[in-house]
């Protein structure tokens, strides 16, 4: 019987800000990037969210959520960061890991 992954339940959240007037040009770029993530990590489930209102400065906050049946490992997190850079996504991406509340 195989052991469960020590990363099971770990979810990756990545957020960043983009100018509201650039919304349309970023959507496809992010979707292409997310397709590459799924190809690299079969079973990865992704969400792309945004805050309902832009900031007073006209910035939208976007959130990417990554879940995997085995949890998100450090290798997956590094791969997501590398793929984001390769796809020209904003360099100021804050990434955080969360686990289910105990």
Query: Domain with 83 in it: what CATH number?
Result: 3.30.70.2520
> pLDDT tens-digit profile of 9-55?
899 999 999 999 999 999 999 999 999 999 999 999 999 999 999 99
Specify the 3-state DSSP secondary structure of 67: strand
pLDDT of residue 37: 97
pLDDT band, very low/low/confident/very high, at 7 (cuts 50, 70, 90): low
Within a domain: 91:
yes
Q: Which residues contact 86 (CB under 8 A, 6 or more apart)?
A: 36
Whether residue 102 lies inside any domain: the answer is no
CA triple 93-94-99, angle to 5 deg: 135
Kindly state whether residue 5 falls inside one of the protein's structural domains.
Answer: no
Lay out the sheet containing 45-50: strands in order across.
Answer: 45-50, 59-67, 11-19, 94-98
pLDDT band at 8 (very low <50, low <70, confident <90, very high): confident
Q: Which domain holds residue 46?
A: 11-97
3 in a structural domain: no
Is the overall model pTM greater than 0.85, yes or no?
Answer: yes
In the chain, the number of structural domains is 1
């Amino acid at each position: 019987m195989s052991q469960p992954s020590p990363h099971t339940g770990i979810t990756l959240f990545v957020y960043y800000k983009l100018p509201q007037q650039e919304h349309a040009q970023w959507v496809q770029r992010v979707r292409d990037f997310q397709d590459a993530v799924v190809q690299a990590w079969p079973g990865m489930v992704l969400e792309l969210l945004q805050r309902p209102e832009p900031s007073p400065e006209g910035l939208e906050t976007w959130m990417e959520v990554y879940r995997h049946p085995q949890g998100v490992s450090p290798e997956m997190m590094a791969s997501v960061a590398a793929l984001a850079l390769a796809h020209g996504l904003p360099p100021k991406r804050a990434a955080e890991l969360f686990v289910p509340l105990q």
